[in-house]
Amino acid sequence: MPAQSQQLRHGSAGSQPPPPSTPGACSSRVPIQTTGGAHVSVSQPEALYGATRRCAWAAPAPQDSGGSQPPLAIQHPRRLASASPSTASYDHTIRFWEAKSGRCYRTIQYPDSQVNRLEITPDKRFLAAAGNPHIRLFDVNSNSPQPVISYDSHTSNVMAVGFHCDGNWMYSGSEDGTVRIWDLRTATCQREYESRAAVNTVVLHPNQKELISGDQNGNIRVWDLAANSCSCELVPEVDTAVRSLTVMWDGSMVVAANNRGTCYVWRLLKGTQTITCFEPLHKLQAHDGYILKCLLSPEFCDPNRYLATASSDNTVKIWNVDGFKLERTLVASSDTTARLWTMSTGEAIRVYQGHHKATVCCALHDGAESAPS
């Protein structure tokens, strides 16, 4: 679909990885080889992690399925009227909703696989759906059921997807054990970082220069995009899967959530290698069940800062990052709905009903104007 792919916004070449030398293949494959950074293996994490503005939160009901990752989305309350959540379900559909009314105004059939992750591009024009083993990009403002473009180099479930802040490129992580960077215009894989286990989660540091991945074997790795190498590797708990990672909007903190209901928190110190300077800050036993997703609040919530965690124990918990005090516990079951809560009261102010099987993931268009093409 060359003609359609030209609709995709693409920034300057200077802010993206080099283009691939062979179309359709990864131009750079990088195995794990930690250089210039730190490797920390913590067999007894307790020794390292001793006790030491109003927002609206949206999430599908916590699932009890190991393959799903119910997400958390945060919405500025003043933009609720124009906001548009998107949800995906085991019923093989993606649905678009009016946030305030709860009306479903668009449904996309996704018959080939389940959708593991949804993400909206920074210019608010496209929605990425990560499935098995592909990623497909849909036009948010179109009624077409067909994707604009498809990214097909992964060989197993794609569990993570996200974008450079200017929309110059896309990254993904898969159960095939790789983290990949994609050219949005041509659907070619530009780089492939090889892990030793299924990748469950990938986030981009706010400096836009490092990717952080977490895998099924419990490894957290930092991929330096400038050096094209793994600059740091941490193992907070041996053989305990890292299910979700989240980074504070200003790059000051990273949280990793695992299969034992534990969150590990590091302070990210600035230096010559900013992201590799991990200072242990806190260990939080957040849930009795495994954690499916964690998310730190965005800039508009400041000066209050929160951590949200969703678990297989059918709860979503909201923690104040200042001391990690529990602020709210939201209870839901594994059903066919998505819910919107207000932080001030913990009340579910909207329920989005229409899926026929459990909801798996959501993304939230915040109602702000799209960037120009």
For residue range 92-137, what is the model confidence (pLDDT) as tens digits? 999 999 999 999 999 999 999 999 999 999 999 999 999 999 999 9
Q: How far apart are the C-alpha atoms of 131 and 154, rounded to whole Å? A: 10
Say yes or no to pLDDT of 200 above 90: yes
158: exposed, middle or buried (Cβ count in 10 Å: 0-12, 13-18, 19+): buried
CB burial readout 35-46, b (16+ within 10 A) else e: eebeeeebeebe
Looking at domain 23-237+339-365, its CATH class is mainly beta
- Tokens representing 96 are 């678009």
Cβ atoms within 10 Å, residue 267: 14
Cβ atoms within 10 Å, residue 149: 22
pLDDT of the residue at 25? 52
What is the H or E stretch that residue 2 is in?
Answer: helix 2-5
First to last CA, the chain: 19
Cα dihedral 258/264/267/271 (nearest 10): -60
Q: How far apart are the C-alpha atoms of 295 and 256, rounded to whole Å? A: 10
Q: How far is CA 306 from the centre of its chain?
A: 17
Q: What is the pTM of this model?
A: 0.81
Q: How far apart are the C-alpha atoms of 57 and 158, rounded to whole Å? A: 25
In sequence order, what are the beta bridge partners of 56?
75, 342
Q: How far apart are the C-alpha atoms of 57 and 149, rounded to whole Å? A: 30
Q: Which residue has the higher pLDDT, 75 or 301?
A: 301
C-beta separation of 158 from 131 below 8 A: yes
Q: How far apart are the C-alpha atoms of 45 and 93, rounded to whole Å? A: 41
Say yes or no to pLDDT of 211 above 50: yes
pLDDT of the residue at 79? 52
Cβ atoms within 10 Å, residue 19: 13
Amino acid at 153: S
Residue-wise pLDDT tens digits, 278-287: 899 999 999 9
Residue-wise pLDDT tens digits, 259-272: 999 999 999 987 55
Cα dihedral 165/170/171/174 (nearest 10): 140
Locate the domains of the chain by residue range: 23-237+339-365
C-beta separation of 178 from 154 below 8 A: yes
